[in-house]
Structure 1
Amino acid sequence: MTEVARGHRTQAERREQTRTALLDATIDCLVDIGYSRASVQEICTRAGVSKGAVQHYFATKAELMAAAVEHLTTKLRTQLTASLGSLPGGASGVAAAIDLLWEGYSGTLSTAVTELWVAARTDPELRAAIRPVDRALGRATLEHISEVAGDLPKERAEMLFWLTVNLTRGLALDAELGGDPRRRRQLLEEWKRIAVLLYSGD
């Protein structure tokens, strides 16, 4: 009985490893070669699995792409949540929280998501797959932000969060296009100054 149970756990672990390998390979493809060239065959090659194996986990390429973004964002959100827990409360923690959001919403995540957003504009199936993922993960991150926002009214906390997310996404796209890093830093610092004022109600 114990051996059977152990065998089932091992099989489940192998399935999870294969799924994770596919998701990681999908993100790598999006970052390295872009959505249009990220074929299922290329993803499988990088993941070290057969093309047929994908069908056991994902019905379509769009579903795979959405799951990959959710996989990456969940990992980053877990790191973000741990970091937010150590921030000081009140206005003094606002600037640090913005820095954490910038770190989380730029880099690999920004590159992968930007590839999918652009492709989704003309791909209804992809758009339908990633939209609920993006919204759900945004709401989940907002919940964690609200927990460290102290007595800040809910409406103001949400406004600060979404303004920060959209600003950092724009700055991340600017970085992808080779924009001036000094200008990005200046804009981020200016937003932190404004955000502190908004937080304080000034």
Structure 2
Amino acid sequence: MATRTHRTQQERSEQTREALLDATIECLVSLGYARTTVQEICARAGVSRGAQQHHFTTKAELMTAALQHLFGRLITQVTASAKELPPGPERISHGIDLLWEAYSGTLSTAAVELWVAARTDAELRESLRPVDRALGHATLSLYREAAGDLPEAEVETLLLLSVNLVRGLALDAMMGGDEARRVRLLEEWKATVLERYLAFTG
């Protein structure tokens, strides 16, 4: 049986879309939002402007889709890692480490660039809100499952506090803050969460 070598139109279209999304994230991280142009994105993706406009009609739509694309990858990664969390109290420390890995690095840099721009760009802001909410809901669902016997309200409170902490620490890292201080704060927070976990589970 002959091996198929030609890609279908749908496969070519999906590859073009993914190249645009990856190039958008790359531009946001390396250039920042203000210097990220559609022309630069197309050049890095090796895609024509006509092909880009076929997939995304506005810059805000392209930016939002790129962030959603990155979120999707991270959720897949966190889901796989969450399944391997150890039983008992150890899972608290490992779970917070997973959050730090997910919300720092490329995600943090790209998201901060877009949210700062969204402050004065209503179209971008309205596009980003549902993506950010979807990430929050997906993360909460994962950690509810991993939390075992903790009450749902407690899981939600601890997760939201943890997410906001790691987002703040990620911003601190972007601004060149002290790494040792970030490590110390994460360890202090793990101890606090563990104490509350043990109070509920005994």
Kept in 2: contact 1:89–1:150 (CA 8 A): no
Cα RMSD after superposing both structures: 1.5
Q: Which amino acid aligns with 1:197?
A: E
2:139 is equivalent to residue 141 of structure 1:
yes
Gaps of 5+ in 2: none
Q: Please give the alpha-carbon distance, in whole angstroms, between the structure 1 residues aligned to 2:187 and 2:162.
A: 12
The answer to whether residue 1 in structure 2 is matched with residue 32 in structure 1 is no
Q: Deviations over 1:98-147 (max 9, x none)?
A: 00110110001000000001000111010001111010121012111111
| SS of alignment partner, residue 147 of structure 2 | coil
The equivalent of 2:9 in structure 1 is: 11
Q: How many residues align structurally?
A: 197
Q: Distance in 1 between matches of 2:197 and 2:12?
A: 47
Structure 2: distance between partners of 1:131 and 1:201: 35
Q: 1:66, 1:133 within 8 Å by CA — same for their partners in 2?
A: yes
Question: Which 5+ residue runs of structure 1 have no aligned equivalent?
Answer: 1-5
Is the 1:24–1:68 contact (alpha carbons within 8 Å) kept by the matching residues of 2? Answer: yes
Distance 1:45 1:110 in 2: 24
The Cα offsets for residues 9-53 of structure 1, whole Å up to 9 and x where unpaired, read as: 711111110000000000000000000111110100000000121
What residue in structure 2 maps to residue 86 of structure 1? 84
Give percent identity, aligned residues only: 64
TM-score when normalising by structure 2: 0.94
* Structure 1 SS opposite 2:85: coil
| TM-score of the aligned structures, taking structure 1 as reference length | 0.94
What is the CA distance between 1:63 and its match in structure 2? 0.9
Cα distance change on mapping 1:8 and 1:141 into 2, 3 Å: farther
Aligned counterpart for 2:75 among listed residues 72, 77, 81 = 77
Return the alpha-carbon distance in structure 1 between the equivalents of residues 30 and 195 of structure 2: 40
